[in-house]
Amino acid sequence: MNFDVNEKESALVARLKKVIDQDAENKLKGLRTGDPLECLNLFMDYLGRLAETGYLEPGVEDGKHSTTLVAAQEALATMSPSLFLAIESSTRLFGRLVSAYGTPEQKEEILPLLLQGRYIGCVGLTEGGMSIETQPFDTTAASSGNDFIVTGSKDHVINAPMADRIAVITRADENILVTLARTESSGITVGERYTGIGYEGTPVASVHLDRVTVAAQEVMGPFDPPDILGDLRRWEDQVLTSASLGLMNRSFQAALDHARKHRRGGKPIIAYQEVGFKLAEMLTIRQTAQLLAYRAAWMDESGDRERDILVSCAKTFCAESAEQVASQALQVLGANGLAKGNPAEESYGSAKYLQVAGTSSEISRVNIGDRILERA
Amino acid sequence: MEFSFTPEQLMFKEQLIRFARKEIVPRVSEHDLQSKFDFDSFRKLGEFGVLGLHFPEELGGSGADVVTTVLAGEALGEAGVDAGLTLAYGAHTFLCADTILCHGSEEQKRKYIPKLASGEWIGCMGLTEPGAGSDVASLSTRARKVGDTYILNGSKMFITNGSIADVAVIYAKTDKDLKHAGISAFIVEKGTPGFSAGRDLIKMGVRTSHTSELVFEDCEIPAQNLIGQEGAGFLMAMQTVEWDRSALLAPFVGGMTYVLHKCARYAKERHQFGRPIAHFQATKHKLADIKIFIEAARSLCYRIAWCKDQGRPLNHLEAAVAKLFMGDWSLKPANDAMLLHGGYGYCHEYEVERYFRDSRLAPIGGGTSDIQKKIISKLM
């Protein structure tokens, strides 16, 4: 047992803080309705910087989470939530998928570029009305000579507007095939970039695939659905857990700074119990969430048999806590918190996304309940 | 960071769970119903080595580290030992005996620790008063030095083990003009003239622990019963907080694990609308919420324990966070467990009723949730 942050964890975080500027989040948000090329260039710039720190590597090739990775993820998710989500979707989702399920040739072609920060990937998983728990995908990959023909639509694909490749999760009979489609391929249409609450600096769009031809050597599988979907779900949930820590840190800090500086009745408002006690609750939730997230990562790293249930517990608790902390932060901040661009206002919207993305809180609770019942 | 237990620690936990299930748990329900302290079980805890787990071997203990000691508390809860008995154990071992062990003279240690480690004697700690709870500086119990004796006058309130204790660590003001620096700690033995316990209080939960008032009326004790130096009492009391936020909270975490198993089994057996209620999503959600609480709370206890093992001074903010979370966030899962059992959950036979009552102490005992918030907001 050791609750201290170790040297490896703190060294990576220190390197990160040197290369990511405090204004990263605002820069990314500023480009959401602007020139897509400018947006891509900015991401590539950050990707390159992150590659130099060693941030992109942990957990990609071995598929495992670790406390070192969570420490770094928490730091990046605090500095820029939008950058974090985009980078993680490319490395810890797309990268892990290729690493765990790709052929040697696919890995050789993609992973070095990805880890050097010269390549962006995305994963097309979600479909309209589809539940990965109970229903098959509508998107199909049909064999045609040496190729596969992919047809269907994917929603909410993070990085779709700027990715080099999209790993499209498709159905082939009872199995899953993953087609590594190049985004410039004929028949692929990337929709308009989504605008909505939360993660405004992360490029997200739908992808429509109309009889897209993908060479057989660029297809992974077939795989048994529970295996590959289980891995994808866990990786996504791990990323979203760290994302939750970042949002909590941002909104808590904004509220704390305000409560120390803002004065009423001749004293800082933190001196009033109605404010100080709220901050105490926020800090308590935040510390508890951090410990749970780190322990879940440690369980993955150490191969603990309780790993899956801990990952689900951590994702559910952290995502919901992120909303709770942001909500209380807004209350402490008063009108200041409601202003566009305030970290609490941003975090409040983004936290909602975290509860529905990956394994939703509802499905996650059902999964946890099922595992408990299996053992009873 | 890493969160592992050693194989020895895990083996000890398993042994203790098996022992408690066989020797203690079968009588829990009956004792709770009668609000009766289980002396046999308490002494068995002594025989198994739990009561003096972290005491030195030469004083009858096992020399265990703090993490192992906290693990023992979790194991007792997980086995199904009620919060009344674990609270009695906590007050005895950590609030009474540990204070003598850490701050007492060699003579005091040799005299009291072996008997407390074995369970031959029961200990308690008297700090809270009718008019002084969290505001320790306002204690009104006085200790006046007269020759080679101290004369104690005053009363203590809500004292766990008060009416059954053979020895008590009592905090009293030796200098009424000073606040915290005027507080000293004394050992008072049962039967000392002028020392008496009031009636046991009828409590909502933790009923197998006896809670009473202690009264001191010109109670004369030898001067050598002073623990450490005059005026050092407040710091001694504060040092027990480390145990309070780890070893005393751990049985709540373990107890919730026990409740979770009970709920899962009940959900599989109970049929409604032609199928087990385990099939309903709302049931699974309740089970999940209990599990999430357990996993979230666990590391908070062990962080305090691990830091104590490293010899670090108590981090008051982390201690308050652990207590606040355990206190305020444990109410919902305890409530969920009862609701999952429907009407049966409201009845004594199904144990979750007892857990619901017992959990109500968590945000009150050992410093209320509001006091924890006050501490945290000051330290931020």
What CATH number does domain B124-233 carry, 2.40.110.10, 2.40.128.20, 2.40.10.10, 3.90.1150.10?
Answer: 2.40.110.10
pLDDT computed for residue A195 by the predictor? 86
Place of tokens 């902390």: A325
Say whether pLDDT at A129 is over 80: no
Q: HSE (CB half, 13 Å, CA atoms) of A70?
A: 32
Distance CA B37, CA B92 (A): 13
CA distance A218 to A114: 16
User: Does ipTM top 0.85?
Assistant: yes
If we measure between CA atoms, which residue out of A319, A245, A257 comes closest to residue A287?
A: A245
Q: What mean pLDDT value characterizes chain B?
A: 96
Whole-angstrom distance, CA of residue B67 vs CA of residue B3? 11
> What local confidence, expressed as pLDDT, does residue B257 receive?
98
- A279 to chain B nearest CA, in Å? 7
Average pLDDT score over residue span B129-139:
87
Of A310, A324, A328, the C-alpha closest to A354 is A324
pLDDT in tens, B264-317: 999 999 999 999 999 999 999 999 999 999 999 999 999 999 999 999 999 999
CA-CA distances (angstroms) from residue B296 to A308, A315, B301, B322? 15, 11, 10, 10
Residues A107 and A160 in one domain: no
For residue B283, the chain A residues in CB contact (below 8 A) are: 369
CB contact under 8 A, B291 and A372: yes
Residues 262-281 of A with CB under 8 A from B: 270, 273, 276-277, 279-281
- The angle formed by the CA atoms of residues A193, A197 and A203, to the nearest 5 degrees, is 30
Q: Peptide bond preceding B130: is omega within 30 degrees of 0, i.e. cis?
A: no
Coil, strand or helix at A306: coil
Instruction: Kindly report, residue by residue over A287-339, the tens digit of the pLDDT.
Output: 999 999 999 999 999 999 999 999 999 999 999 999 999 999 999 999 999 99
B117 has a pLDDT exceeding 60: yes
CB contact under 8 A, B4 and A67: no
> In this structure, what token pair is assigned to residue A307?
């790993």
Nearest-by-CA chain B residue for A361: B285
Two structure tokens written together for B259: 């409740």
User: Does B131 or B34 have the greater pLDDT score?
Assistant: B34
Residues 6+ apart with CB under 8 A from B257: B74, B77, B78, B294
Q: Do B378 and A362 touch (CB under 8 A)?
A: no
Of B93, B103, B83, B82, which Cα lies nearest the Cα of B123? B93
**pLDDT(A31) > 90:** no
Please give the residue of chain B at the shortest CA–CA distance from A369: B284
**Same domain for A34 and A149:** no
Pick from A273, A368, A376: CB nearest B261: A376
List B150's β-bridge partners, or say none.
Answer: B145, B221
Instruction: Report angle CA A360, A355, A131 to the nearest 5 degrees.
Output: 25
Cβ–Cβ below 8 Å for B267 and A368: no
Neighbours of A185 (CB within 10 A): 16
State which amino acid sits at residue B74.
E
Give mean pLDDT, residues A4-27: 92
Q: What is the mean pLDDT of residues A38-56?
A: 95
Buried b (16+ CB within 10 A) or exposed e, A222-248: bbebeebbebbbbbbbbbbbbbbbbbb
Per-residue pLDDT at A132:
55
pLDDT value of position A135 = 62
- Indicate whether A16 and A136 sit together in one domain: no
Q: What is the 8-class DSSP label of residue A138? A: S
Alpha carbon of B276: minimum distance to chain A alpha carbons (Å): 11
Is the Cβ pair A288, B380 closer than 8 Å?
A: no
Report the CATH number at residue A170.
2.40.110.10
What 3-state class would DSSP assign to B90? helix
pLDDT of A32: 77
Asked if the structure places residue A240 within a domain, the reply is: yes
- The enclosing domain of A355 has a CATH number of 1.20.140.10
Based on the structure, what is the number of domains in chain A? 3
Residues A133 and A255 in one domain: no
Sequence-separated (6 or more) residues with CB below 8 Å from residue B357:
B204, B205, B206, B207
pLDDT given for residue B242 in this prediction: 86
Task: Say whether pLDDT at A208 is over 80.
Answer: yes
Q: Tokens 């480390």 appear where?
A: B242
Q: How many CB atoms lie within 10 A of CB A322?
A: 32
Q: Is A134 on the interface with B (CB under 8 A)?
A: no
Q: Using a CB–CB cutoff of 8 Å, tell me whether B278 touches chain A.
A: yes
Q: Which residues of A21-32 are buried (b: 16+ CB within 10 A; e: fewer)?
A: eeebbebbbebb
Chain centroid to Cα A209, Å, comes to 24
Using the 3D structure, point to which of A85, A115, A145 is the last residue of a domain.
A115
B7-122 falls under which CATH superfamily?
Acyl-CoA dehydrogenase/oxidase, N-terminal domain (1.10.540.10)
Instruction: Give the pairing type, strands B149-160 and A267-268.
Output: unpaired
Between B176 and B153, the higher pLDDT residue: B153
pLDDT tops 80 at residue A130? no
Rounded Cα distance, B39 and B214, in Å: 20
Same domain assignment for residues A149 and A110? no
Residues A254 and A363 in one domain: yes
CATH number at residue A108: 1.10.540
Measured N-to-C along each axis, helices A273-302 and A307-333 cross at an angle, to the nearest 10 degrees, of: 160
- What pLDDT score does A133 carry? 58
**What is the spatial distance between Cα B3 and Cα A297, in angstroms, rounded to a whole number?**
10
Nearest to A94 by CA among A3, A7, A166: A166
Q: Kindly state whether residues A107 and A147 are assigned to the same domain.
A: no
How do A140-144 and A147-158 pair as beta strands? antiparallel
Q: What is the span of the domain harbouring residue A100? A: 7-115
Within a domain: A304: yes
Residues of B in contact with A277 (CB under 8 A): 370, 373-374, 377
* Residue A306 CB partners (closer than 8 Å, separation 6+): A299
Rounded Cα distance, B105 and B181, in Å: 20
3-state SS of chain B: helix, strand, coil percent to 5? 55, 15, 30
What token pair was written down for A251? Answer: 């909104």
Average pLDDT, chain A: 94
Mean pLDDT of A237-259: 98
Strands B123-126 and B167-173: parallel
Nearest CA in chain A to B285: A365
- Tokens coding B3: 């969160």
Strand A188-190 and strand A204-215: the pairing is: antiparallel
Same domain, A271 and A312: yes
DSSP secondary structure code for residue B224 in this structure: G
Q: CA A291 to CA A318: how far, in whole Å?
A: 10
Kindly determine whether residue A372 and residue B287, on different chains, have CB atoms separated by under 8 Å. Answer: yes
CATH topology of domain B245-379: Butyryl-CoA Dehydrogenase, subunit A; domain 3 (1.20.140)
A1 lies in a domain? no
* Gap between the Cα atoms of B195 and B216, Å rounded: 5
pLDDT band at B50 (very low <50, low <70, confident <90, very high): very high
Helix (H) or strand (E) holding B29, with range, is helix B25-34
- How does residue A176 score in pLDDT terms, banded at 50, 70 and 90? very high
Residue of B nearest to A368 (CA): B288
Angle between helix B7-23 and helix B25-34 axes, rounded to 10 deg:
60
Ordered by start, the domain boundaries in chain B are 7-122, 124-233, 245-379
pLDDT for the residue numbered B135 = 84
Kindly state whether residues A255 and A172 are assigned to the same domain.
no
Q: Distance (Å, rounded) from C-alpha A298 to C-alpha B318?
A: 21
Q: Both A262 and A326 in a single domain?
A: yes
Whether A78 is in a domain gets the answer: yes
Same domain, A21 and A92: yes
Closest CA to A324 of A361, A366, A297, A368: A361
List Cβ neighbours of B65 (8 Å cut-off, separation of 6 or more): B54, B309
Same domain, A191 and A264: no
With 60 as the cut, is the pLDDT of residue A126 above it?
yes
